[in-house]
Amino acid sequence: MKKYSIGVDLGGTKVLCALIEKENNKILFEVKKKTKKEKGNDKIISKLFEALDELFKNSNINKKEISSIGIAAAGQIDRKTGILVNACNLECFNLELVKLIEKKYKIKTYLANDVEAAALCELNFGAGKGFKNIVCIFVGTGIGSCIIIDGKIYYGSSGSAGEIGHTIIDVNGRDCSCGGAGCLEAYASRSAIEARIKGAIKKGRKTILTDLSDGQNFSTKHIKQALDAHDEITIQYVNEAIEYLSSGIANVINFLNPELIILGGGLIQGIDDIYLKTIKNAKAKALCIPSENTIFKKAELGDYSGIIGATALEKQNVI
Ligand SMILES: [Zn+2]
């Protein structure tokens, strides 16, 4: 068996490549390149090649020892063709990632989006180890999720299953980034909390967040600091988001009856109180039997979940 694999995290502002020892998931070498100024297919692919070339050079590894390259990309992908269909932050459209990498390096390459890579990471190496029927929900800027049935990701008939963030929880609801209205993401993500607080500031309410931040972007860290300082507006809108999030999760419990729900993402990982209150409320709102039998865990693998999860794609055999 080949001993190593390469994981690539193609995020909104960086390319992170790592050489991983498969036996123990140990990261042996990593190369990180910022992509802030580089946008568009040509610039992103050359940045990625630059990072991979540097990884091969630094690690001095023989390519024959590498079983696969797994890429986790922040965007919409086509698993069958290995094409990055749409990555807005990188301004990449219809980029033939898998084909270009396989042509240059002659190594089998797999492509996943960042949410499924993080879910695969939890399933194989993190909070999901030993479980087979899992729903992973990541709450941050948006809300991403992934359904795992019998140890494998359930993609749905056209590959888009698991979009809990775009399930509608208010028929007369707020506009959502997807073009729809009333979606969970517009009520329970960090962006939703941020938008609600900004609305209150416009109406003249005062919050410590204007002193803690630049007044434009409220990070999870800022929200936590404001909660710790008992800031009234922050407490109000965080509690509101918890109400919606727990309702969304109660729907998942009732609809799918999973054995395990893994919660992750910036807002969950960064603020323990949100995690604990969400679980408590979701359990109270769901039907008794599935509620009693659903286990909750926090995601265990943070910043490296994309690259480590991407190396598990060869097991999943998605392409
Ligand atoms: Zn939506």
What's the pLDDT tens digit per position in 167-194? 999 999 999 988 999 999 999 999 999 9
Can you list the alpha helix ranges (DSSP code H) found in 81-180? 97-105, 114-125
Tell me what the mean pLDDT of segment 12-22 comes to: 90
Name the residue type at position 91. E
Mean pLDDT (the chain) is 93
Could you tell me the distance, in angstroms and rounded to a whole number, from the CA of residue 177 to the centre of ligand 1?
6
Tell me what the mean pLDDT of segment 21-28 comes to: 89
Give which of 274, 256, 269 is closest to 162, Cα–Cα: 256
Q: With 80 as the cut, is the pLDDT of residue 12 above it?
A: no
Give which of 214, 216, 241 is closest to 227, Cα–Cα: 241
Looking at residue 319, its pLDDT comes to: 42
Q: Are 295 and 261 in contact (CB under 8 A)?
A: yes
Q: Are 192 and 185 in contact (CB under 8 A)?
A: yes
Q: b/e string for 189-226 if b means 16 or more Cβ within 10 A?
A: bbbbbbbbbeebeeeeeebbbeebbeeeebebebbbbb
Tokens for 18? 């790592």
Could you tell me the distance, in angstroms and rounded to a whole number, from the CA of residue 146 to the centre of ligand 1?
16
Could you tell me the distance, in angstroms and rounded to a whole number, from the CA of residue 21 to the centre of ligand 1?
39
Tell me what the mean pLDDT of segment 209-236 comes to: 93
Tell me what the mean pLDDT of segment 288-306 comes to: 92
Could you tell me the distance, in angstroms and rounded to a whole number, from the CA of residue 183 to the centre of ligand 1?
5
Of the listed ranges 15-29, 50-64, 218-232, 304-318, the least confidently predicted one is: 304-318
CA atoms of 44 and 49, how far apart (whole Å)? 9
CA atoms of 129 and 147, how far apart (whole Å)? 15
Looking at residue 236, its pLDDT comes to: 98
Q: In this structure, which residues have their CB less than 5 angstroms from ion ligand 1?
A: 166, 176, 178, 180, 183
Could you tell me the distance, in angstroms and rounded to a whole number, from the CA of residue 144 to the centre of ligand 1?
11
Tell me what the mean pLDDT of segment 101-130 comes to: 94
Tell me what the mean pLDDT of segment 249-257 comes to: 97
Instruction: Specify the DSSP class assigned to residue 132.
Output: S
**Burial (CB count within 10 angstroms: exposed 0-12, middle 13-18, buried 19+), residue 289:** exposed
pLDDT band at 76 (very low <50, low <70, confident <90, very high): confident
CA atoms of 233 and 192, how far apart (whole Å)? 13
Could you tell me the distance, in angstroms and rounded to a whole number, from the CA of residue 181 to the centre of ligand 1?
6
Angle 89-90-94 from CA coordinates, rounded to 5°: 115
Looking at residue 282, its pLDDT comes to: 98
Q: With 90 as the cut, is the pLDDT of residue 286 above it?
A: yes
pLDDT band at 317 (very low <50, low <70, confident <90, very high): low
Could you tell me the distance, in angstroms and rounded to a whole number, from the CA of residue 171 to the centre of ligand 1?
12
Which strands sit side by side in the sheet containing 76-78, from one edge to the other?
76-78, 83-87, 92-95
Could you tell me the distance, in angstroms and rounded to a whole number, from the CA of residue 245 to the centre of ligand 1?
14
